[in-house]
Amino acid sequence: MKLATKDLLRLATIGSVDDGKSTLIGRLLVDTRQLFDDQLDAVVAASEKRGVGDLDLSFVTDGLRAEREQGITIDVAYRYASTPSRKFIIADCPGHVQYTSNMATGASTADLALVVMDVAHGIKEQTRRHLCIAALLGVHSLIVCVNKMDKVDWSQSAFQREVDEVQSLSSELGFKSVTIIPVSALLGDNVVDPSKNTPWYEGPSVLSALETSDAGSWARTTRGARLPIQWVLRQSGGGRTYAGMIDGNAFHVGDAVTLLPANIETKIRAINSGSGERGEAGVGLSVDLDLDDETDAGRGDLIASAPLPTVTKELTATIIWFGDQPLVEGQRLRLKHTTKVTPVRVQAITGVMDIETLVIDESSTLTTNQIGLATLVTADPLVVDDYRDNRVTGSFVLIDVVTNATVAAGMVGRASFF
């Protein structure tokens, strides 16, 4: 059985706490028979034990003791599913504001966000924050579930009010594809099959929207091939090859490439991969490249084809700050970008986003879970693309120098709405 990359969809659930994300994923997995008998039995037993009914669907993904005790999701659960049309990697993310960094973790590798909102409450602040983060992370497609329709007696006008609100916010944030569905995660309406309770709704169910949505957007770019060097392999004949995972466009044998930041031009002599030599290798493949010229390149350097990325020690970047203490100007941290780790200093913080209005306010600090703009200066040169051109060479994390904790997600440049 051979599957092309487009047959895999990575999705993340987002939205505010208690709006029904885990229940929806549980419903989707149960109704498409993705659970083994023993797994379903265990969810039933846990529901009974905790006195939350016959079957608490959120327990399918809320697997930690504390999550079941408190009835909330704390960290991302990854689940794997497949239907005849495609495979899915599902990241069920937490909604609580305290766990925003975990939501960002789940969304950072997603092609699509499955947004869940409570029809009675509309778009809450945390829903807006999640949508902003998803937009910044470059998720282009949304499936928005207007949930708990059972609680408003399947009211079309209640649904329509949310449709208008969602459409205006998602166009402001620049999402390319938005499907809005009235559902009851609890009862299963419009999750797998169309519901009789919503005769006025003619769109797809959640499952069919997932099966037909655009996949692979994560990796799509037209701006050059990139190979951040991870490791130098010494070949038996005495030569060296450069190992790493490809991003952006494909490399071909014979391609003219540039080694950066040294700016050495050379050609690709051979491409080796886990299953032998190749003439061509594209995004997501781990390879090692044999180059025409001997160089002293190493880990942290980058092999690129035109158009070339920028070599710089100063970045203008969008930052999502996760640290417990505020980020302040002059602060020193470590930065990891592709395969390079370098000391970094915050030169200036130039703005913070007001989640309610999407307006950039002036600020010289960023507090926990705030999104802002900053200028950073690094000790060593970085080889970067704008995040919107390349998610790999455009992204970085900031690391606390004492605890080694990851304290921020960074994206080179700024989004158009930001």
Partner 1 sequence: MTTTPLRAPRTADHLDLLESHAIFILREVVAECERPVLLFSGGKDSAVLLHLALKAFAPQQLPFPVLHIDTGQNFPEVLRYRDEQAASLGVKLLVAKVQDSIDQGKVADPGPMGSRNRLQTVTLLDAINDNGFDAAFGGARRDEDKARAKERILSFRDGFGQWDPRRQRPELWQLYQGKVNPGEHLRAFPLSDWTELDIWQYIEREQMELPEIYFAHERDVLLRDDMWLAVGPFVEPRPGETVERRVVRFRTVGDANCTGAVDSPADTIAAIIEEIAIANVSERGATRADDRFSETAMEDRKREGYF
Ligand X SMILES: Nc1nc2c(ncn2[C@@H]2O[C@H](COP(=O)(O)OP(=O)(O)OP(=O)(O)O)[C@@H](O)[C@H]2O)c(=O)[nH]1
Chain positions 374 to 393 lying near Mg ion, rule: CB under 5 A, are: none
Q: Across 29-153, where does the E strand assignment appear? A: 77-82, 87-92, 112-118, 141-147
Stretch that binds ligand X, among 146-154, 171-179, 209-217, 367-375 (CB under 6 A): 146-154
Closest to ligand X by CB, 72 vs 333, is 72
Strand partners, 266: 257
Q: Which of 5, 67, 78, 57 is nearest to 191 (CA)?
A: 57
Stretch 77-96 residues interacting with ligand X (CB under 6 A)? 94-96
Min dist CB 92 to Mg ion, Å, is 6
Closest to partner 1 by CB, 101 vs 221, is 101
Q: Which position's Cβ is nearest ligand X?
A: 95
The residues, ordered by sequence, that sit 6+ positions from 263 with a Cβ below 8 Å of its Cβ are: 311
| By CB under 6 A, residue 73 contacts ligand X | yes
| By CB under 5 A, residue 130 contacts Mg ion | no
The number of C-alpha atoms within 13 Å of 206 and in the hemisphere containing its C-beta is 30
CA 45 to chain centre: 33
Alpha helix ranges (H) inside 137-243: 156-172, 206-212
Stretch 160-199 residues interacting with Mg ion (CB under 5 A)? none
Min dist CB 118 to Mg ion, Å, is 13
In this structure, what token pair is assigned to residue 48?
A: 């009974």
The residues, ordered by sequence, that sit 6+ positions from 188 with a Cβ below 8 Å of its Cβ are: 27, 31
User: CB under 5 to 8 A by kind: which of partner 1, ligand X, Mg ion, none does 388 bind?
Assistant: none
| By CB under 6 A, residue 18 contacts ligand X | yes
**What is the DSSP secondary-structure string of 327-388?**
EETT-EEEEEETTEEEEEEEEEEEEEE-TTT-PEEP-SEE-TT-EEEEEEEEEEEEEE--TT
Min dist CB 22 to Mg ion, Å, is 3
| By CB under 6 A, residue 224 contacts ligand X | no
| By CB under 5 A, residue 100 contacts Mg ion | no
Stretch 169-198 residues interacting with ligand X (CB under 6 A)? 184-186
User: CB under 5 to 8 A by kind: which of ligand X, Mg ion, partner 1, none does 184 bind?
Assistant: ligand X
Stretch 56-85 residues interacting with Mg ion (CB under 5 A)? 73
Closest to partner 1 by CB, 42 vs 348, is 42
The residues, ordered by sequence, that sit 6+ positions from 242 with a Cβ below 8 Å of its Cβ are: 227, 229, 232, 233, 288, 289, 291, 297, 303
Name which position in 7, 8, 17, 177 contacts ligand X (CB under 6 A).
Answer: 17
Cβ contact 364:328 at 8 Å: yes
In the DSSP assignment, the letter for residue 235 is P
| By CB under 5 A, residue 21 contacts Mg ion | yes
Q: What does the binding site for ligand X look like in residue numbers (CB under 6 A)?
A: 17-23, 58, 72-73, 94-96, 116, 147-148, 150-151, 184-186
Residues near Mg ion (CB under 5 A) are 21-22, 73
